[in-house]
Amino acid sequence: MDKTPRGLLAAAFAALLLGGCAYQPGPVERLPDDPGALLEQARQQEPERAAISRLEAADILARQGQRTQALAIAAELDDRRLPDDQRLRWAMLLSELGEAEGDPSAVIQAGQLLGEIDLPRDAGLILRERQGKALAEIGEHRAAAESLMRVQSHTDRDVLNETIWASLTRLERSELDAMRDGADELTLGWLTLAGLVRDSGGDVQRLSERLETWRERNVRHPAARRVPSDLAALRELRGQQVQHIAVFLPESGPLASVAEAIRDGMRAHHQATAERNGGVRLTFLDASHGNLDMLYEEARSRGAQVVIGPLDKDQITELENRDQVPLPTLGLNYGHGETNRARGLFQYGLSAEDEARQVARRGREDGHRRSALLIPDNEWGNRVGRAFEREWRRLDGTVTNVVAYNPGGSATESTRRALAGGRPDMLFLLALPSYARQVPPTLEYYDAAGLPIYATSHLFEGRPQPLLDHDLDAVNFLDIPWQIPDAAVGGVEALPYADSYRQLRSDADPSVFRLMAMGVDAYELARRLPQFQLMPDSQLFGATGTLVPAADGRIQRHLPWARFERGVPQPILTIDLFGSDPLGNGGAHLPNGELIEDGRLDAPVD
As a residue count, the chain comes to 606
Q: Is the pLDDT of residue 446 over 90?
A: yes
H helix or E strand, kind and range, residue 394: helix 379-394
CB 350 within 8 A of CB 379: no
DSSP letter (8 states) at residue 235: G
Query: Where does residue 567 fall: left (phi above 0), alpha (psi -120 to 50 degrees), or beta otherwise?
Result: left
Q: Is the pLDDT of residue 582 over 50?
A: no
Name the more confident of 245 and 548. Answer: 245
Task: Calculate the average pLDDT of the chain.
Answer: 87
What pLDDT is attached to residue 289?
Answer: 82
What pLDDT is attached to residue 324?
Answer: 95
Overall average pLDDT of the 227-255 stretch: 86
Query: pLDDT tens, 292-331?
Result: 999 999 999 999 999 999 999 999 999 999 999 999 999 9
Q: Is the pLDDT of residue 600 over 60?
A: no
The model's pTM? 0.75
Percentages of the chain per state (helix, strand, coil), in multiples of 5: 50, 15, 35
What pLDDT is attached to residue 27?
Answer: 40
DSSP string, 257-313: HHHHHHHHHHHHHHHHTTTTTTS-EEEEEE-SS--HHHHHHHHHHTT-SEEE----H
What pLDDT is attached to residue 203?
Answer: 67
Helix 35-42, helix 47-63: angle, nearest 10 = 160
Overall average pLDDT of the 372-385 stretch: 97
- Rounded to 5°, angle at Cα 262 from 260 and 263: 60
Three-state DSSP class for 423?
coil
Q: Is the pLDDT of residue 192 over 50?
A: yes
**604 Cβ contact partners less than 8 Å away, ≥ 6 residues apart:** 352, 380, 383, 593, 594, 595, 596, 597
What pLDDT is attached to residue 234?
Answer: 74
Query: pLDDT tens, 413-435?
Result: 999 999 997 889 999 999 999 99
What pLDDT is attached to residue 277?
Answer: 67
CB 81 within 8 A of CB 51: yes
What pLDDT is attached to residue 478?
Answer: 97
Q: Is the pLDDT of residue 5 over 60?
A: no
Overall average pLDDT of the 61-71 stretch: 94
CB 58 within 8 A of CB 77: yes
Identify the CA nearest to 234 among candidates 597, 588, 572, 538: 538
